[in-house]
């Protein structure tokens, strides 16, 4: 098993690892994800509740900005598209 591998696909910790990996690099991601796990375990034990995986956050405003940016770039390249 390699560092960053996970049995469950698209888990919170896998998404976190890939996010940090893209922004900060492998070494930071390898340290940051277990830190997040420790925090989760602490809260589970402290509050005596079952672990519930956080849902993925969908940033609609960021997505709309990204779509507008790509449409502007396509228009600039001579491929105007309409998107509603």
pLDDT tens digits, residue range 3-55? 555 466 778 999 899 999 999 999 999 999 999 999 999 999 999 999 999 88
**36 neighbors 49 (Cβ within 8 angstroms):** no
Reduced 3-state DSSP string for 39-84: HHHHHHHHHCCCCCCCCCCCCHHHHHHHHHHHHHHHHHCCCCCCCC
81 pLDDT band (50/70/90 cuts)?
confident
Of the candidates 12, 37, 33, 36, the residue with the CA atom closest to the CA atom of residue 24? 33
Q: What is the pLDDT of residue 83?
A: 62
What is this structure's pTM? Answer: 0.60
Residue boundaries of the structural domains of the chain: 1-53, 57-84
**Lowest-confidence region among 1-5, 55-59, 65-69, 75-79:** 1-5
């Amino acid at each position: 098993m390699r560092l960053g591998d996970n049995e469950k696909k698209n888990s919170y910790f896998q998404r976190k690892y890939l996010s940090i990996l893209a922004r900060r690099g492998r070494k930071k991601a390898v340290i940051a994800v277990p830190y997040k796990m420790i925090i989760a375990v602490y809260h589970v034990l402290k509050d005596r509740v079952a672990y519930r995986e956080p849902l993925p956050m969908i940033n609609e405003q960021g997505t709309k900005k990204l779509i507008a940016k790509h449409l502007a770039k396509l228009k600039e390249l001579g491929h105007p598209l309409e998107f509603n």
